[in-house]
Amino acid sequence: MNAIIGCLIAFGIMFIMFFIFASLVGSTEESVSIKNNSVLELRLNLPISDYVGNNAADPFTGLFERSQGLDEILHAIETAKEDDDIKGISIDNNFILAGLAQTQAIRKALEDFKESGKFIYAYGDFYMQKDYYLASVADEMYLNPVGILDFKGLSSEVLFYKDLQEKTGIKMEVIRHGKYKSAVEPYLSNEMSDANRKQIKELISSLWNSMVEEISRGRNISPENLNIIADTLGGRTTEYAKASGLIDDILFYDEYETKLREALKLEEKDDLNTVLLEDYVIRSNKKVKNKGDDKIAVIFAQGEILYGEGGPEFIGQGIINKAIIKARDDEKVKAIVLRVNSPGGSALTSDIIWRELELAKEKKPVIVSMGNVAASGGYYIAAGADKIFAEPTTITGSIGVFGVVPNVTELAEDIGINAEQVGTNKNSVDYSLFEPMTDDFRKMVQDGVEDTYETFLSRVAKGRKMTVAEVDSMAQGRVWSGVDAKRLGLVDELGNLNDAIAEAAKMTDLDEYGIKKFPRYKTGFERLMEDFGGASAKAKQDFIEEEVGAEAYSILKQFKSAMEQKGIQARMPFVLDIK
């Protein structure tokens, strides 16, 4: 009886919470009032995902999000361009938590906004390089008098674990194909190979050149002079930054607000009306740009590729293939655009998704839009598309595979563990963590890696209409920027998601069409219920990160991810931390 009463009380509390949250959301929506002659404040304080799956009909939408949707940010800027109440945009942002291609997409949307004749101003207490790259689109840029501007060129750091393995006795046995497949290099060596150093240098140089070209247009400084400024640290003080033309002036924030008031032509008695991006999204989400009975499906595939159902943070064949099938079988959907933002992962899952896209192609066009990264398994699922779009700063390619098998033989010996196996047949005994890898087992995994690599090559060759030899010459696990990928024929066009959608409409002769976004993630209420059970685990993760620091926690996550990898991997050859 007590258990029944307890359940009834719990359900009662849940319903009360539901109505309280629903009323709060409703009142929030009603309270968002945007006055005429307002400035949209672009503050990007949360990590940015391509898609968070918000549903306007869900009263819990947004309450539990830990990221912002790039699709909503871009739509808000596009809506503001035509909104008579919005006269300009203020970029007030530090430490943008987005990839380079996402930042580039936002910057392009802001460039388009400026075509309306409205102003964009930017202010920073400090500008990291991505922050500066974004803000350089502004008509005028200002920096705090004691602020910092980081402008020195891109770099990347790769961590190596060979000594750690020897000291701990925990070893990663690796089998790879591709001289550039350096995802496993940190476990084999204490220093970077020439091949890996070459590809990283060429990659970040291409990304830097794309950034410099756009900053050059925004600030009216030649690329040559921008590189001289970077080499001489010509923006390291506020005075240097102003003298070199990286910023327009050095101001306190109240002085910056005076600049905004002047741009709005306000009298001294007038209020400065601003609206935060997250509030403006409520208005912009109600303004649908694309309308029509015919639809273009946009399927977002974001995160590592893992075998299983999948979700907002990783790609699984379950949720993605359901979305592909739903879009394929919907008669109103005339074309499918797959948005890929993934460093790869499980080769098996990649091939399962590739096959479902091949079946979809038999019924309607499939176009791919690449985000920050569409490498290895991310490129695998994209390769068969009718047309592929990438941003200039997209990281793609990495056509190669590897296997990683953990082994703790040395640790087991040190702590006194001995494992003995008994089997009925020659190969019936599974691989043991506690025994050295046998030559027969290594050969079996190597055969699997080679077979998967050949399959990968054939998928790309078929999709890109190349010979296997041609694909192999640019494969070997090598990563490329979007610019280089287009030159090599790995992608068709440089452009963003909107460009891919426009191409889908062109291929299907659609003048009017709506957009249907997939997949459907769990509702805010469903996630709320899950959070009651998962709060403890999440609290532990946050506690560990706070105690050891973000950088050390990132290393732990990388090592844990390597230990959990199952099967042959089609994964980007390194964790690229661009600074």
Tell whether 299 is covered by a domain. yes
The residue among 222, 250, 284 that closes a domain is 284
pTM: 0.86
Tokens 């993760």, residue located: 541
* Whole-number pLDDT of residue 279: 94
Tell me if 154 sits within 8 A of 208, measured CB to CB: yes
Between CA 207 and CA 130 the distance in angstroms is 12
Report CA torsion sign: 241, 247, 249, 252.
Answer: negative
Examine the pLDDT at 566 and tell me if it is beyond 80: no
| CATH, residue 42 | 3.90.226.10
- Counting Cα atoms < 13 Å in the Cβ hemisphere of 156 gives 19
Residues 51 and 127 in one domain: yes
Residues 393 and 261 in one domain: no
Examine the pLDDT at 20 and tell me if it is beyond 90: no
Tell whether 361 is covered by a domain. yes
> Mean pLDDT, to the nearest integer, of 202-218?
97
| % the chain with pLDDT above 90 | 62
Examine the pLDDT at 536 and tell me if it is beyond 60: no
Residues 564 and 418 in one domain: yes
Residues 46 and 110 in one domain: yes
> How big is the chain by its Cα radius of gyration, in Å?
26
Residues 336 and 465 in one domain: yes
Examine the pLDDT at 529 and tell me if it is beyond 60: no
Residues 259 and 346 in one domain: no
Across 112-126, 216-230, 409-423, 506-520, least confident range: 409-423
Cβ-proximal residues to 440 (8 Å cutoff; 6+ apart), any chain: 427
Tell me if 503 sits within 8 A of 367, measured CB to CB: yes
Examine the pLDDT at 30 and tell me if it is beyond 50: no
Q: Is 398 marked active-site?
A: no
> Mean pLDDT, to the nearest integer, of 442-449?
89
Residues 257 and 320 in one domain: no
Tell whether 157 is covered by a domain. no
* Whole-number pLDDT of residue 404: 82
The residue among 263, 284, 305 that closes a domain is 284
Tell whether 188 is covered by a domain. no
Q: Which of 40-54, 333-347, 516-530 has the highest mean pLDDT?
A: 333-347
Between CA 309 and CA 556 the distance in angstroms is 25
* Whole-number pLDDT of residue 83: 96
Q: Read off the pLDDT of residues 44-73 as tens digits, 9 standing for 90 and up.
A: 989 999 999 865 555 555 555 578 999 999
> Mean pLDDT, to the nearest integer, of 349-364?
98
Name the DSSP letter for residue 245.
T
Q: Read off the pLDDT of residues 269-302 as tens digits, 9 standing for 90 and up.
A: 999 999 999 999 999 998 888 889 999 999 999 9
CA dihedral 360, 363, 364, 366 (to 10 degrees): 20
Tokens representing residue 270 in the block = 């007038």
> Mean pLDDT, to the nearest integer, of 459-470?
97
Candidates 48, 90, 101, 89; CA nearest to 70 is 48
Q: Read off the pLDDT of residues 144-168 as tens digits, 9 standing for 90 and up.
A: 999 999 999 999 888 888 888 888 9
Residues 269 and 389 in one domain: no
* Whole-number pLDDT of residue 157: 86
Catalytic residue among 136, 206, 284, 376: 376
Residues 265 and 329 in one domain: no
Residues 351 and 445 in one domain: yes
Tell whether 70 is covered by a domain. yes
Examine the pLDDT at 345 and tell me if it is beyond 70: yes
* Whole-number pLDDT of residue 428: 83
Number of folded domains that form the chain: 2
Q: Is 23 marked active-site?
A: no
Tell me if 579 sits within 8 A of 207, measured CB to CB: no
The chain-wide mean pLDDT, for the chain, equals 86
Q: Which amino acid is at 418?
A: N
* Whole-number pLDDT of residue 104: 97
SS3 333: strand
Tell whether 164 is covered by a domain. no
> Mean pLDDT, to the nearest integer, of 352-358?
98
* Whole-number pLDDT of residue 405: 85
Tell whether 181 is covered by a domain. no
Catalytic residue among 81, 171, 181, 259: 181
- At residue 538, φ and ψ (nearest 5 deg) are -65, -40
Tell whether 228 is covered by a domain. no
Residues 309 and 421 in one domain: yes
Range of the domain at 393: 295-530+539-572
Q: Read off the pLDDT of residues 91-147 as tens digits, 9 standing for 90 and up.
A: 997 789 999 999 999 999 999 999 999 999 999 999 999 999 999 999 999 999 999
Residues 339 and 422 in one domain: yes
